[in-house]
Amino acid sequence: MNFKYNVAEKMAKLMLYVFITLLSVTLIMAATMSPTDKSNCGRHGDPCVSASQCCSNMRCHSYAHRCQVIITEEELMAQREKILGRRGKDY
């Protein structure tokens, strides 16, 4: 009988150590992840509520609530020139 209690006590201690270890790892991981970290920012198409949740040069679309890339007119015209080989607007 004493042997069974000894094994049960050892298992209880082991489970307590496992629980404490998992709890401490979870707390450490949560503390190291900050919301301003650029690896956690929302990429194009990720859900968002405000622009602060999206990466730089992106905004949160007010109706779709998704991160959206902001394309300037200069960037658009530069890509158009690469594709069509022409400068300026045709419209």
Q: Is 53 exposed, middle or buried (0-12, 13-18, 19+ CB in 10 A)?
A: middle
**Which pLDDT does position 64 carry in this prediction?**
93
User: Whole-angstrom Cα distance, residue 65 to residue 46?
Assistant: 8
Structure confidence by residue, pLDDT tens digits, 21-68: 999 998 888 776 655 555 678 888 999 999 889 998 899 999 999 999
The reported pTM is 0.44
Q: Identify the H or E element spanning 59.
A: strand 58-60
